[in-house]
Amino acid sequence: GPGTGPDAAPQPAAHGAFPTVRLRRNRSEPWTRRLVAETRLTPADLMWPLFLEDGTDVWREVPSMPGVHRLSIERAVDAVARARDLGIPVVALFPHVPSERKTADCAEAWNPDNLVCRAVREIKRQVPDIGLMCDVALDPYNALGHDGLVEDGRIPNDATIDALIRQARTLADAGCDIIGPSDMMDGRVGAIRRALDAAGHQDVKMMAYSAKYASAFYGPFRDAVGSGGFLAGDKKTYQMDPANTDEALREVGLDLQEGADMVMVKPGMPYLDVLRRVKDAHRVPTFAYQVSGEYAMMKAAVERGWLDNRQVVLESLLAFKRAGADGVLTYAAVEAAEWLREP
Ligand code: PBG
């Protein structure tokens, strides 16, 4: 009868049928996991933000960012050469500006001999084969810590753009490859693009901080550049409300119309949904900034032995790629590139 003899079907186990589809098969060995991986992280995906401080032989750790240092120019040159050797394509430069250089008109921002410009020239001379990105925003130079000018307690949009244009032109003249407007004024990308073109800098690229949120995750950065203690109020009248994503798509769309070559979402990990929507909607080179507070959270837990440094950093960076990023700005770029090089 049925269930007996040589042609009988195998009998189900007592608890019911075994699964025929087993997703664990493809996970069973390292080689098969590598074979089916959809997303890959390489050093070419990483952009490294680097803090500069004036002086000689400066190598000063930022207290809230373990492993991150402010470097004087000659130290920065060595660090950038190492990043280049590891296959990192771009370094982003941020200056620590002493309080006596911070003013209401922010004129140090377009001083051709300011710290960033001197660093750009020196790095370009000694390490020509890596890209240099520079922030365009007034906060390091502003006595009130804001990204724009301050008039009667408000941030005037169009007067700020005039200042940003001067800053961007000065950076491009120094040899900066990628201008990164991080100020969130309306219309600044187009205005800077026209000014760069008129000055003969048609090939200088722009990566717009397009969807930049008024976030609590920037605290350690403001310590690193020395702007935190100066900030009067908050940045909510120009940076985006964390409640919004449709608005992020509009911001990105406008920056692209105005000539942005690449766009950015910032912060990173708490905004992966925004990143995915931006990539799906616009299909352009899209970057995420894993900001200082995200880095500080990971490192604080690592220091306590609560998270594994290498695994948590690499997983966080892979998550950006999976969510649609073409690259990630991260303070962990150098250590990550070292890990990614290992077989
Ligand atoms: C300045 C700027 C900020 C960051 C990059 N450019 C801080 C801010 O907007 O207050 C933050 C980066 C970080 O937190 O790592 N416009």
**Closest ligand 1 atom to Cα of 135:** 6
The yes-or-no verdict on residue 1 having pLDDT over 50 is: no
51-63 average pLDDT score: 96
Distance between alpha carbon 78 and the CA centroid of its chain, in Å? 21
For residue 62, the number of C-alpha atoms closer than 13 Å in the C-beta half-sphere is 27
The atom of ligand 1 lying closest to the CA of 331 is: 15
For residue 14, pLDDT beyond 80: no
Residue 205 vs residue 230, higher pLDDT: 205
Indicate the pLDDT class of residue 223, thresholds 50, 70 and 90.
confident
The DSSP secondary structure of 151-205, one letter per residue, reads BTTB--HHHHHHHHHHHHHHHHHHT-SEEEE-S--TTHHHHHHHHHHHTT-TT-E
Q: Which residues form the pocket of ligand 1, taking CB atoms under 6 Å from any ligand atom?
A: 135, 137, 139, 147, 182, 218, 221-222, 235, 291-292
Give tens-digit pLDDT for 188-208: 999 999 999 999 999 999 999
236 is catalytic: no
> Distance from the CA of 119 to the center of ligand 1, in angstroms?
19
**Alpha-carbon distance 307 to 324, whole Å?**
25
ipTM for the assembly: 0.97
User: Environment class of residue 46 by beta-carbon count within 10 Å: exposed (0-12), middle (13-18) or buried (19+)?
Assistant: buried
CA separation for the pair 44, 64 (Å, rounded): 27
Q: At what angle do helices 309-322 and 333-341 cross, to 10 degrees?
A: 90
Cα of 303 from ligand 1 centre, angstroms: 24
141 Cβ contact partners less than 8 Å away, ≥ 6 residues apart:
97, 101, 102, 103, 106, 107, 108, 109
For residue 82, pLDDT over 80 is answered with: yes
Average pLDDT score, the chain: 95
Query: How many whole angstroms from 221 Cα to the centroid of ligand 1?
Result: 6
Q: What is the pLDDT of residues 276-307, one digit of tens each?
A: 999 999 999 999 999 999 999 999 999 999 99
* Options 205, 212, 235, 321, the catalytic residue: 212
| Substitution candidate for ligand 1 out of 182, 237, 294 with most atoms within 8 A of CB | 182
pLDDT at residue 5, as a whole number: 58
Determine the distance separating the centroid of ligand 1 and the alpha carbon of 183, expressed in angstroms: 9
The pLDDT tens digits for 127-175 are 999 999 999 999 999 999 999 999 999 999 999 999 999 999 999 999 9
Closest residue (by CA) to atom 6 of ligand 1?
A: 182
CA distances from 275 to 28, 221, 270, 287 (A): 31, 21, 10, 8
* Residue 308, amino acid: D
Domains of the chain: 44-341 (3.20.20.70)
> Which of the following is catalytic: 266, 279, 299, 321?
266
Q: How many CB atoms lie within 10 A of CB 235?
A: 21
Cis peptide before 156 (omega within 30 of 0): no
For ligand 1, the distance from its centroid to the CA atom of residue 11, given in whole angstroms, is: 64
**Does 97 score more than 90 pLDDT?**
yes
H/E element holding 74? helix 73-85
